[in-house]
Amino acid sequence: MSPEHCYYVTPAGSSRHQVEAWSRYPLQFAGQRRFGWQDDMAADLRAALGQLAITAGEALAGMYLSTDDSRCDVENRLFTNPGSSCFPPGKVSAIRFERGTGPPPAPPVPVARTAGHLYYYRYQVGGIWQWWKPGEILARWRRVPRRIPDDGSARPVWHAMKQAAASGQVEARATALDAITPFGIRVAVHATARGPRSAPSISESLIDGIVAAFHGGDPITPAVAALLAARLPGTSPQELESLAKVGSPGALFGGSAFVVQGSYLQISPCDERCYAGDVAISADAVGQYPEISGELFTLRRVGA
């Protein structure tokens, strides 16, 4: 009997258009990985993805499948956790992601299972969503300026979206989405000459900031507002308290998007329900700041 592998990545150069990977446990973010082989898997992904024939403007489409049907952040699984260095530098200005349903295809070599589960990642140049299609539009916005510089967190985008909502730049339905229906997101980032340029580098903070702005029940107490203001240059606790109280852009998602423990503050929205999305960057900002256009929508299964 052949020994079981912890993971398998299609060898670098075996295809110029597709990379596949299987693992016994989800690939985690660098610094949070539980197993040494996860670093090896990320390195093999980097080598294979670096051989893809992707040209400027083409989307790199990722698809995630697993026998484990528990909720997860699919964008993180596909693009954030491997690390932005895994993707060809200077080439990936657009990404597409989705979570498929059903079991993954069988790996070409035996791969061990953790708690009986197998995890599958596929990357292709171009293509469309295979499992999902947009349903009802939940919210829409156009050219929202992100005035606070990107610090790698979701805070600057959250602030931009809340400011835009307060000034009437965001359209959203009046009622909250139920806790079961999956949703999707499409985002166009209008970059300045200074960037951004890499979609995998900004996708997590971008999506988290947008989705967080549509959460209800944010506990913006004076203490929390002070924590936020210390991390958002040019803002004040009073301004942030006022923004959080604004009913717009609409509480599409229940609960708070903030995790607060003492002086620790994190934005953690319900993006585990975001099963499909697009992020595309184009160098066409009309002002001095990067701008964000996009929409949120419910998802329906293809063929349903």
According to DSSP, the residues that pair with 95 across neighbouring strands are 60, 279
- The per-residue pLDDT for range 219-256, each reduced to its tens digit, is 578 888 899 999 999 999 999 988 877 655 678 998 88
pLDDT score at 296: 97
CA nearest to 267, candidates 173, 158, 110, 111: 158
Using alpha carbons only, give the angle 74, 77, 78 rounded to the nearest 5 degrees. 90
| Segment 163-192, tens digit of pLDDT | 999 899 999 987 889 989 999 999 999 999
Q: What is the mean pLDDT of residues 42-60?
A: 92
Instruction: Please state, in angstroms and as integers, the Cα–Cα distance from residue 60 to each residue in 102, 125, 233, 290, following that order.
Output: 22, 5, 33, 22
Whole-prediction pTM value? Answer: 0.94
> Counting beta carbons within 10 angstroms of the beta carbon of residue 264, is it exposed (0 to 12), middle (13 to 18) or buried (19 or more)?
exposed
Instruction: Dig out the tokens for 19 from the structure.
Output: 């990379």
Question: What pLDDT, on a 0 to 100 scale, did the predictor assign at position 27?
Answer: 96
Domain ranges of the chain: 7-130, 133-301
Q: What percent of the chain is modeled with pLDDT above 90?
A: 76
Residue 122 has what pLDDT?
97
Cβ–Cβ < 8 Å for 158, 255: no
Residue 217 reports pLDDT greater than 60: yes
The predicted pLDDT at position 247 comes to: 59
CATH code for the structural domain at 7-130: 3.30.1330
Contact 139, 173 (CB under 8 A): yes
pLDDT of residue 219: 59
- pLDDT over threshold 60, residue 218: no
Q: Is 83 left (phi over 0), alpha (psi -120 to 50) or beta?
A: left
Looking at residue 185, what is its pLDDT? 98
In the prediction, which pLDDT does 2 show? 45
User: What is the percentage of the chain residues whose pLDDT exceeds 70?
Assistant: 96
Whether the per-residue pLDDT at 10 is higher than 50: the answer is yes
Q: Which of 269, 266, 173 is nearest to 213 (CA)?
A: 269
- Token pair recorded at residue 42: 């990320």
Q: Is the pLDDT of residue 18 over 80?
A: yes
User: Mean pLDDT score of the chain, rounded to an integer?
Assistant: 92
Please write the tens of the pLDDT for every residue from 278-298: 999 999 999 999 999 999 999
pLDDT in tens, 151-165: 999 999 999 999 999
Tell me the pLDDT band of 1, cut-offs 50, 70 and 90. very low
First to last CA, the chain: 42
Q: Are strands 291-301 and 258-261 parallel, antiparallel or unpaired?
A: unpaired
Q: With 90 as the cut, is the pLDDT of residue 15 above it?
A: no
pLDDT of residue 39: 96
The DSSP element (H or E) to which 62 belongs, if any, is: strand 60-66
Quote the pLDDT of residue 214.
92
